Every structure is written in C-alpha cells, then in structure tokens.
A and B are shown apart, each in its own frame.
Chain A
Amino acid sequence: MDFELSDDQAALAEGIRNLCQGRFDIETIRGFAESGGVDPGRWKELGDTGVFGLMATEADGGLGMGLADAVLVFEELGRAAVPGPLVGTFLAASAVPAALAGDHVVSLVEHTADNAAGPWMVEHLDAAASVAVLGAESVSLIPAADLAGEALPHPLDVLTPVSRVQSLADGQEIGGPEVAADWRHRGSVLTAALQLGLAEASLELGVAYAKEREQFNKPIGTFQAIKHLCADMLTHVEVARAAVYAAGVHFDQPDTGDAVRAASVAKLLAGQAGDFCGKACTQIHGGMGYTWEVDVHLFLKRSWVLDTVFGDADDHTEAVAAFL
C-alpha cells in the first residue's frame, strides 16, 4: 500500500499543470468568453496532449491509463479553471475518435426521471459538435446542429454558456445500461476532481492575498480570523483530495474498496470544498472579492455549475446513507 503519487503520476500532473500555466492562464481563459467558452485551437491542444484519451485503450488511440491518473489531470484542469465540456468529451472519446483527438467537442446532458419532459439546460451548445444524452439505461449521441436551443443571456458562469433546449432529437445510441452506469460513475469522480482543483485555486488565491494585503499596518494573514479561514480552506481541500484520489484508485483496484460509494463521497466532499473555499477566498478579499476583476468568482461559479451535474449534495448524502 502506497497512497502517494507514483513518479509517473507526479510527472503526469506536473506536465498538465505546466500545460495549463502556459496555454490556459487565467487572462487567456477570460478571453474564451468571446468564443462561447471553448477555443477550438486550445481544445485541440488538449486532445493532442492526450487529455481526452487517457483511459481509452491504445487500440482506440488512447493511453490506457486508469481513473486515478485521469483524476490527477482533471484536478489540474480544474485548478486552471479550463472551461468547456471536458467530462462529456472525455467520456465520449472511446466511441468518437474525433472527440479523443480534440477535433469534436461533446457536451453532455443528463436525462433523468426528474426532467423527462425537459426543458434541458445544455452547456456549450454552440461550441459542441455533438450532445451526449446520458439516460438511466442508455447513452446516445445527437448532432448539436439537430438541437434548437435558446441561449441564456446571462449564464451563471460566464465561461459556461447554457442553452435551454425544449426537445431532444433522436440520437444514435452508443451504449446501454452498463455504459450509462460507467459514465455516471466516472463522470462523478472526474467532476469531483475538477471541483477539487477549483477549491485549490481558491485556496491559493486567498492565501496569496492574505500574505500581500495590508491593513492596520500588517498583512491581514497575521490576524487569526483570516489565518483560521485559510486553515479551514486547506482542511476542506485535503479531505476532499483524499476522497477524490481514493475514488479513482478504488475504481482501478476494485478489491480495495467500494468504488461506487467512494464516487459519491468524492463528489459530495469536493463540491463542498469548492463552495467553502470559493466563499472563504471571496471573504478574504473583502470588497475586491465582490468585483469581476478578482478571479475567485470564476472558481466559485464553476464549482456551483458542476454541483448540478452527476448528482448534488442531496443525491450523494442519500447515496452514502443507502450503504449504511
């Protein structure tokens, strides 16, 4: 048993972090708002790096890695607040070679009993080539051009445009109940990894500001009220990190724990970490935290968007309780 990152895993995470720092710095990402949150050139770079094919088999052009490896990559994408339907495209990559290559953006919408009549809120409809519909028993793929959507004028996260779609055209089924369950499972864990990264982004930004901002002639980080808020952020991040990494490992090594339960724990605690750290970082910034200029609102709003997919806190506390 060694729950630390292997050398390969550490190198993988560092590689993606470097890619994000070089190609997805926050100013560049803010510029993506003009192009619907997805820049085709940069998206292609993600595909070229292998981001979407991490878990696809080598025969399918993928890298044949595990979910634990993918978690590390998605954590870094979250930390950089890279926008776009990353999880949908990742999950579709095994069935759609162009998605794996980064040439074909796949948005994902869940079709559940609770919203069987629609309307459906579809993210990144303009940038997407396909929309994957994840139902209880099947996964199907619809060409985005076949869907009529009304774009919301003011999406919650400016980098996650949302369209209201009144009816879903018939799609091509690409998987049955097992595939649907697998997508939900891995989708929960990868979304949790994005939220973990977003929580870390808020932690880092908040701590940096606490060191630099001075009031009463000293850095505000000297005050225990601020220091303790920072410690609380770290606690949320580290507990969520353990949960998210464990969910990845249990999926890859089924004998080591219940992977489904772990996925719920991960999505729950990473969502709570993203929320807590986003709010705490806002608070540490004071009035500046309430301005568009400071990046924290991008991290917090993205985490809130991700709360609405693959089950929210209510769903996952229920799911964990069902194991007791």
Chain B
Amino acid sequence: MDLRYTDAQLAFRDELRDWLATALPEVAPEPDRHDWDARRRWDTDWQAMLADAGYAGIDWPTEFGGRGASPAEHLIFLEETERLRAPYVGVNFVGLGHAGPTIIAEGTEAQQADHLPKILRGEEVWCQGFSEPGAGSDLASLQCRAVRDGDEYVISGQKIWTSFAHIADYCELLVRTDPDPEIRKHKGISWLMMSMDSPGIDIRPLDTVLGSSEFAEMFLDEVRVPVSNRVGDENDGWRVTMVTLSFERGTAFVSELLGSMKLVEEAADLARQVTRNSATAWDDVGLRREIGQIAAELDALWALTKRNVSQAARTGIPGPGGNVFKLRYAETRRHLGDVSARLLARAGLGIGETGSHSRNDPIEERIYALSLKIAAGTTQVNKNIIGERVLGLPKG
C-alpha cells in the first residue's frame, strides 16, 4: 500500500496547476441556473478550453483523442479542478462519461469519427434516453418501440429523467427492437444515437424538488433514426450498455466528495458563528461530535476512493467498492444536510440565501442529498446487488 504520488504524477499535477492558474481567470462568471442557453455555453466553453490544453477526455484512450491518463492522474485532475472550483463537467457529462466511452468501445470507425472529436471539444452535447415511466430500477423492462422501415428505425414511446434534453444535440437511446414476450426481456434492446433535431420529439421539462429544470420527459412519436446510427448489433443493446458501465474507474464521485469535505468545514465555521444557549453551537459538544462524525466518514470515503481507484487501475474493472461508496456517501451527505439545517434553524428557510456560490448552499445541498439515494440505482437496488453479486446471497 503506497499513497505517495510518483514523480511523473507530481509533474502532471504541477503542469495542471500552472495551466489552471492562467485558464481560470479567463472563465466567465457562472450563469444563472435557469438560463439554459447560457449554461450550455459556459460548460461547453470550458470543455473547449480543456480540449485546447490537452485535458479533454482525461481518461479516454489517446487513439480516440483523449489524454489517456491513468486513474491516479484522473484523481489528481479532479482533485485540482475541484480545489480551485473550476467549472464542473455539467452538460458534457453524458457525452464524456457515457455516450463517448460507449462509442469508443462498441462504435464503428465512422461513428467514432463523427462524434468523438465533437464531444471532446464541447461541440456536441448528449442526453440519455434510458429510463421510462414503467422502467426505472427495472430498466430492462423498457417498452419504447423501434420498428425497422428500410434503412431507418421508426421509434415511438416515452422516456423520463432525460437530463439536458432541451439543449442536447444527440440522445443515447435504448429502444426495444424485438417485442417478442417469449424472449428474455434484455435480449431485445438496441442502443441508438438519435439526433435531437429529428421530427417527432416532444420535450417537457420536469422540475426537481430543488426547483431546477435539468430533467425532462421526452415523448417520441414516429421519430426516424437511421439504422447506421445503431451502436452494436440489433438486440444487443443491453450488453452495449453494460460494457459502458464497466468504464467506471472509481472516480465518479471524486469532485462531489471533495466538495462535501469543504461543506463540512463550512458547517464547522457556521457552528462557530451561530448562538446556542448563550454560547456558540460549536461549544455544544453534541453538535460538535456530530460534525466530527461526518468529517470522519468523509475522510474514510476519501480513503475508500483511493482504494477503488487503485483496484480499478490494477484490474481494469470496477470492483464492489463503488456500490459501497455510494451507499455510505448518501447517508453521510444526508446527515450533513440535516446538521447544517439545524445550525441555520430559521435562517435556513430560504434556498440560496446563505451560500457564497452555487456549490455550498447548505439548504440546497440538504435537498440535493435526497437524490443521492435514488439516482443511478436506488439504495435498495444497490443493496440487492451487493447482497447477490458481492456476498453471493441467493436471489429472491
């Protein structure tokens, strides 16, 4: 076990720090969160800056235009950019983290040439059309139907949780190409690239409990997608999707976690400022210990992240550590949100009143923490996966 960075890794960090010192002052102020055109521009401008400097697709292989960084360098990249509050991946998330890696792994050379350079430069924004109203945790039961008509698929159905749908250029879309109920349900699915300009797409925003509107419902009415836009074989889309997930190298929550470690420091500062029983809240040993517990858990999760990254670097596949991380992280973040709200008391009755920037409003973070036990696999499904795939318990 060795937590020291190598000379090469330290050199990578120094070079990155030098670049960030010159690049970040050129970044425009963060736009209003409801101004989606401005948000897209802000996120994609940053992506273009990363591309010019050679940091775009940090973990993508070099033959596809990426940096080809090791997991440890990826960790350093996320650590440094979060430390200096560089723009987050934002609307580029699906393209860089999901659609791009899928096209790298399973796409044709033409598909790779068409899309990868644009994703890397922030010129093509992607959204994800996976979930449906009737297919959430049970994603493989999806019903959105694609019927072959010559060299096109004609697609009708409904998708949900399609983040950034209204500003995206392309959608990674899972459709049912074989409706035969006799075959196993995840055998009849295909993975398509759908241009968001296609006629027949109706997008309706879906407001979150935060009052933000990145979610959308997407209604597809006889939308035509060329068969050449299929990635992987027909009816093999489930496997294509699973291959993508195996790209995860333990770094998914690094920025978030480092942000949380700042939030707990800020909670401690807040406790020193607010009054409780004629003293500060920090003088209240119960509150102080609760904050200490949360800080300890975040420290341990940072250590777990390094274990997960190291394991992925050695084996090339994600281990169970990611599932474990997500379970505990969600609990810890909820606890942090609750303690922060107790510190603010009635000063916390407004969202966005207390934070100095978009990533540290304690009340917003408290509400956001609700999503951590739901998004990308609920806590309950996650526990089933750990129980069955890691611990070998029998399926129910």
Contact = CB atoms under 8 A, between A and B. Distances in A.
B19 to A, nearest CB: 21
A226 B386 CA distance: 12
Contacts of A211: 392-394
A224 interface: yes
Interface of B: 1-6, 9, 72, 75, 264-265, 268, 285, 288-293, 295-297, 299-301, 303-304, 306-307, 309-311, 313-314, 320-321, 324, 327-328, 380, 382-384, 386-388, 390-396
Given A1-B2, A1-B3, A222 B296 contact: no
Contacts of A318: 285, 288-289, 292
A321 B291 contact: yes
Contact of A224 (B75, B264, B380, B392): B380
A279 interface: no
A317 to B, nearest CB: 4
Interface string A206-227: 0100110000001101111011
A312 B106 CA distance: 52
A134 interface: no
Interface of A: 1-6, 9, 68, 207, 210-211, 218-219, 221-224, 226-228, 230-232, 234-235, 238-243, 245-246, 248-250, 253, 255-257, 261-262, 264-265, 268-269, 313-314, 316-324
Contacts of B3: 1, 3, 246, 249-250, 253, 256-257
Given A269-B300, A318-B289, A231 B313 contact: no
B293 A4 contact: no
A261 B292 contact: no
26 contacts: A1-B9, A2-B2, A2-B310, A3-B306, A4-B310, A222-B393, A230-B387, A230-B391, A231-B383, A231-B386, A231-B391, A239-B300, A239-B324, A240-B300, A242-B307, A245-B1, A246-B306, A249-B2, A255-B4, A268-B296, A269-B300, A317-B290, A318-B292, A320-B292, A320-B299, A321-B288
A257 B261 CA distance: 14
Given A207-B393, A222-B394, A239-B304, 19 more contacts: A2-B314, A222-B396, A224-B396, A227-B384, A227-B387, A234-B386, A235-B324, A238-B321, A243-B299, A243-B303, A246-B303, A265-B296, A313-B293, A317-B288, A317-B289, A318-B285, A318-B288, A318-B292, A321-B292
